[in-house]
Structure 1
Amino acid sequence: MTQLPDLLAEALSAGRLEGLHAVVAVRGGQTVLEHYGAGADFSWDAPLGVVDFGPGTLHDLRSVTKSVTVLLYGIALDAGRVPEPAAPLLRQFREYPDLAAEPERARLTVDHALTMSLGLEWREDIPYDSPANAEIAMELAPDRCRYVLERPIVEPPGARWSYCGGATALLGRLIAAGTGQPLAQYARTALFAPLGIHDVEWMAGTDGVASAASGLRLTPRDLARIGELVLANGAWHGRRIVPAGWVRTMLQPRLRTGWGGRYGYHWYLDTVAGRRLVAGMGNGGQRLVVLPDLDLTVAVTAGNYDDPDQWRTPVNLLEHVVLPATE
C-alpha cells in the first residue's frame, strides 16, 4: 500500500475529502497511512476554533460512541453484570412500574435496544442544536431513561430498525447499574486500559451521566485500536478483552437500515467494492471502518457536522484512496 500517501494527496487536491481532520489506517497491525489536517471543530456544541490536528489531539466520535458502548455491554455480559439480550427491558427499570404495567411496553427486550428496534416514536433527523431532536430532548429531560421508555408506541418492537440514541442511553444505564461503576470509569478499566488507551474524554449531560450515545473523545490512533480489536474478534496482543462470541453476535446482520445496509448490535454491516465492511458511524463524518477481508482498519475524523452530504468524505476516502491501494 505504498501509494496510499499519493492517492490521499490526489484526493485532497481534487476536493473529494472536504472537512477531513485525520485518518489512520492499519493493516496487519502496521500503520499504512496517517494524516492530520486543520479545520474548524466543535466538542458537542462548543466551538473549538480552527484546530491543527495531530497524533495526540482528541476528537469527538459522536455516534461511533454507540459502537464502543456495545463492546462494553459484551464485556459486562460475560461477567454476569448485565442482562442477556432476550431479557425483558422494563424489568431492568423497576423504578417505572407504571410503564412496565402496559402490555405493549412489557414486550420490549434488551435485544430491541441493541438493534434499535424499540418501536417507539423517536426523531433524530432534526439538527442536533434543536430541542425537537429526540436525543437533545432526552438530554434536557429530568430523567433520560423515563423519557425514552415512555415515548409513544408507533409499531411492534423488532419490526423495523429506527435510529435511536435513546436505545444506547438505556444500555449505558444497564452497564453502570450492573457494574456499579459510572460508564466512563468502567470503560477505562475494562476496555481502554487493556488496549493501552489512556487519553480519553467521555462527555456527560448536565446530570453528570456520561453520554453512551455520543460523548466519547479519542485520538484517531486509539480509535483505530478499537477497530483492530474488533478485527481480532476481541483480542489484543494475545489478551482476551471482549468475548469472541460477543463480537460474532454483535456483528450478525439483524435488520436493514433506512438506506439498505444491515445492522447488528450497534454496528453497521455492508459491503464496499465487494468487500465486507463493518463500521461505527458518527455525525460529521466520524468513522471506524473494519474491512475483515483485507485485515484493515480505518479511523476517520472530520468536521462536517449536520451536513447532509457528510457521508461523502469517508466514502470517497475508502473508494478513491484506501481500496485502490489494496488492488
Structure 2
Amino acid sequence: MRLQVFVFLLLQLTVLKLDAQQSLFVKDQGITSRVHQDNMGKIIFTSRDIALTELTEKDFLSNYQLTNKSNLFITVFMPHSLTNYMHQLAPALTADSLVKVGNYQFALLVDNNLVYRSNLMPGAPYAQIQDTVTAFCKPLINDKGSLWSQSYWGRFMRNGGDSALTEGKHVLSMEIRPYVQLAGKTVVGDIIAAGTLPMQVYRKPRIDITRIRLNKIRPYDGFDVSKEKIDSNKIKTLIGNINEGVFKGINGIVVIDKGKLLIEEYFNGEDRSNLHDPRSVGKTFASTITGIAIEEGYLKNEQQQLKEFYNLRSFANYAIQKEEVAIKDLLTMSSVFDGDDNTDSPGNEENMYPTDNWVKFTLDLPVNLERPKEQWHYFTAGVMLLGDILHKTVPGGLEKYADEKLFKPLHITHYQWQYTPQHVANTAGGIQLCALDFAKYGQLYKNEGKWQGKQIIPREWVHKSFTKQRVLPNASDEYYGYLFWNKKYTVGGKSYEAFYCTGNGGNKIFVFKDQPWVIVITASAYGQPYAHPQVDKMMAEYILPAIINKDQQ
C-alpha cells in the first residue's frame, strides 16, 4: 500500500513538473545543477565569488563576520526565469514589453524588520538574461567597489542599514520578488527566492594608535618641511580608520601650512611619485589658463561671447541665446545650454563621451529657457568647450601653452593630460599629477597667483576665482566661483571657509580663505555615493582638528 502511494505521488509530481514546463511563457534554462535542485527558491551567501559550476554546499555560509572590509556574495536559485514570473503579473504583455516595464525587486531585512526595498530599473539585465536565467551570482558587498554591489548595498546602508546594523549579533535576510509597472501602478509578485544569514557586526574597529606611525616627511621641490605641531593622535586615528576600511578608496592626504609640508600620508599602494587621476579637479585648470591667456592678451576678457569663436548657425538647434553665451558663463557653469550632469538632460556628459566630436556635441545642444538666467548647473561639456576656445586662441595650442605658462614655472614635469577625440587637452577633467604637485597648484592660489617670487596667475584673476559668483542650488551656504567651489567647515563651534576643486571619487584641493592651509585629498572611490561625504567627515572630525589643536601630541 505504501509503495502504491509513493508511486502515485511520484507520478503526480512528474505531471506537475511537465505541466509547469509546458506552461512556461518563454523557455528558460531550467534547473542547472544538483545544487540548484536542492536549493530551489533560496539565496545562498558565500564569502567569495564562486562560479555556479563549482559551487558546493561546503561554500555556503551559515554565519558571517561583517566588517568595513567585508566581501559577501549571493547566489540565487529560482525555479524559473524572471520573464516567466513577470508574465504571471501581466499576462497580456509580450516578452519584449515585459523587459521594458519590470524587473527584480530586492528587499533587505535586519532581524526580521524590513529596512530597504528597491526595484531594479527595467532593462538591466537585458532581455535574453531575463528570459532564460534561473540562477545567478552577484557581489552583495565588495570591498573593491563592484558597481552593482556598491550601488545596492550603499543605498541600503544610507536608507536605514547603517543604523540597523549596530555592533553585535544580527540576522540579515534578503527577499527577491518580480514586479511590473502597469498604468502608473507597481504590481509585485510573490517571493521567488529568499535567504538569511546570521552575522556578527564589527564595523567600529578598535584602533591602537600606539602601533601607528606617521610618515616621515621629506622636503619636496617647492616645499620645506614644517616644524609646526599637530594633534598626531587625530591623524593616527584617521590612518587607522582608513586602514580598517571605514574610509574607502583614500589614496593620499597632504597638508600644507604656511607654505610648508605639514602632513603627507599615502594609502592603497600610492606614494608621492604616483600620478593620480582626480577627475573633475582638472576642470579648474581651465580657469587658470583662461586667466593667464586674458592677462597676455590672447583673450580680451571673460565677457567674450561664443559667436567670436564659432559660427553657431552651422550647428544644430541654433538660438540667438547661444551667441550671447560668454566665457564667464562657462567658468561659472551658468550658460543657457540644456546640459546638466545631475539630470538626464541632452547635455549630460555621459551623452557626450561616446560621440566623435565633443565640441560639435556641445554646440549642437538646444538651449534651456525655462531655467532661471545665470542659475548654476553642473555642465562638464561647457568646461570642455572652454578648453577648445583656449586651444584655438593661445599660441601652440592648449597643452603647450599650459606647460610653458603653468607647469614649468611650478617645476611640474611629471603629469599626463587626457584628450578629446580631436586630441585637444581635455579640460573636462582627468589631468594626472602627483599629490604634492596638486598641492603646489593649491598653494599657487593661496599665494594669490605667485610662486617663488614670480606672478604666474594674475592676482586679480585669483580674486575673481575666489568670488562667490553663483549660489549652489540645493545646498546651504555654498557657492561657486570661476570653476572653484566654496563651502565652510565647522570645528569646535568655529567656521573655516575654503575654496576648493573637487572631482569624482572624493578628490579635493582645498585652499582656505583665512587660514594658512592648503589640503589635498587624492581618492579613487569613483562613482561611489559615499566618496564626497566621507571626505567631509575626514576634514571635520580629523584633519582640521589635528591642525587646529596643535598642542595635542
Q: TM-score, normalised by structure 2?
A: 0.53
Do the aligned partners of 1:4 and 1:321 also contact (CA within 8 Å) in 2? no
| CA distance 1:99–1:79, change in 2 (3 Å) | farther
> Which shows bigger deviation, 180-189 or 236-245?
180-189
SS at match of 1:195: coil
SS at match of 1:270: strand
1:159 aligns with 2:374: yes
What is the aligned partner in structure 1 of residue 118 from structure 2? Answer: none
Do the aligned partners of 1:22 and 1:53 also contact (CA within 8 Å) in 2? yes
Which of 496, 499, 523 aligns to 1:302? It is 523
What is the aligned partner in structure 2 of residue 45 from structure 1? Answer: none
What is the aligned partner in structure 2 of residue 136 from structure 1? Answer: 350
Do the aligned partners of 2:497 and 2:513 also contact (CA within 8 Å) in 1? yes
Letter in 1 for 2:351: A
1:186 aligns with 2:401: yes
What is the aligned partner in structure 1 of residue 167 from structure 2? Answer: none
Do the aligned partners of 2:486 and 2:499 also contact (CA within 8 Å) in 1? yes
1:53 aligns with 2:281: no
Do the aligned partners of 1:124 and 1:164 also contact (CA within 8 Å) in 2? yes
Q: CA shift at 1:180, angstroms?
A: 2.9
Q: CA shift at 1:100, angstroms?
A: 9.8
Q: CA shift at 1:16, angstroms?
A: 4.6
Which of 113, 116, 122 aligns to 2:330? It is 113
What is the aligned partner in structure 1 of residue 261 from structure 2? Answer: 31
What is the aligned partner in structure 1 of residue 248 from structure 2? Answer: 18
2:343, 2:248 → 1: CA distance? 23
Letter in 2 for 1:31: L
Which of 267, 284, 291 aligns to 2:484? It is 267
The share of aligned pairs that are identical, in percent, is 24
| CA distance 1:211–1:4, change in 2 (3 Å) | farther
1:101, 1:309 → 2: CA distance? 40
1:54, 1:101 → 2: CA distance? 49
Which of 361, 383, 391 aligns to 1:147? It is 361
1:84 aligns with 2:301: yes
1:30, 1:143 → 2: CA distance? 43
Letter in 1 for 2:252: A
What is the aligned partner in structure 2 of residue 41 from structure 1? Answer: none
1:6, 1:198 → 2: CA distance? 35
Letter in 1 for 2:352: M
Do the aligned partners of 2:416 and 2:432 also contact (CA within 8 Å) in 1? yes
Letter in 2 for 1:143: N
> Which shows bigger deviation, 267-276 or 234-243?
267-276
What is the aligned partner in structure 2 of residue 292 from structure 1? Answer: 513
Q: CA shift at 1:7, angstroms?
A: 1.4
| CA distance 1:30–1:71, change in 2 (3 Å) | same
1:159, 1:293 → 2: CA distance? 28
SS at match of 1:194: coil
> Which shows bigger deviation, 1-10 or 176-185?
1-10
Larger of the two Rg values belongs to structure: 2
1:56, 1:96 → 2: CA distance? 47
1:315 aligns with 2:536: yes
Q: Tell me, which stretches of 5 or more residues in structure 2 are unaligned?
A: 1-227
Q: CA shift at 1:138, angstroms?
A: 2.1
Q: For 1:186-230, what per-residue CA distance to the aligned partner results, in whole angstroms no more than 9, with x for missing partners?
A: 211110110111101001133322211113000000000011000
1:231 aligns with 2:452: no
| CA distance 1:239–1:277, change in 2 (3 Å) | same
Give matches, 1:183-262, under 5 Å. Answer: 183-258=398-473, 259-260=475-476, 261-262=478-479
Q: CA shift at 1:116, angstroms?
A: 0.5
Q: CA shift at 1:303, angstroms?
A: 1.2
Which of 166, 174, 184 aligns to 2:389? It is 174
Q: Which has the higher contact order (CA 8 A, sep 6+)?
A: 1
What is the aligned partner in structure 2 of residue 47 from structure 1? Answer: none
What is the aligned partner in structure 1 of residue 112 from structure 2? Answer: none
| CA distance 1:5–1:203, change in 2 (3 Å) | farther
1:35, 1:158 → 2: CA distance? 44
Letter in 2 for 1:208: H
1:298, 1:241 → 2: CA distance? 21
Q: For 1:8-62, what per-residue CA distance to the aligned partner results, in whole angstroms no more than 9, with x for missing partners?
A: 2212334553221001110111111000111xxxxxxxxxxxxx10110000021
2:518, 2:342 → 1: CA distance? 28
1:316, 1:89 → 2: CA distance? 41
Letter in 2 for 1:193: K
Q: CA shift at 1:276, angstroms?
A: 1.5
What is the aligned partner in structure 2 of residue 62 from structure 1? Answer: 279
What is the aligned partner in structure 2 of residue 9 from structure 1? Answer: 236
Q: CA shift at 1:277, angstroms?
A: 0.6
> Which shows bigger deviation, 224-233 or 99-108?
99-108
Do the aligned partners of 1:5 and 1:33 also contact (CA within 8 Å) in 2? no
Letter in 1 for 2:481: G
Q: CA shift at 1:316, angstroms?
A: 2.1
Q: CA shift at 1:321, angstroms?
A: 2.1
Q: CA shift at 1:133, angstroms?
A: 7.8
Do the aligned partners of 2:498 and 2:513 also contact (CA within 8 Å) in 1? yes
Letter in 2 for 1:30: K
Do the aligned partners of 1:96 and 1:146 also contact (CA within 8 Å) in 2? no
Q: Tell me, which stretches of 5 or more residues in structure 1 are unaligned?
A: 39-51
Computed over aligned residues only, the root mean square deviation of the Cα atoms, in angstroms, reads 2.3
Q: CA shift at 1:4, angstroms?
A: 4.6
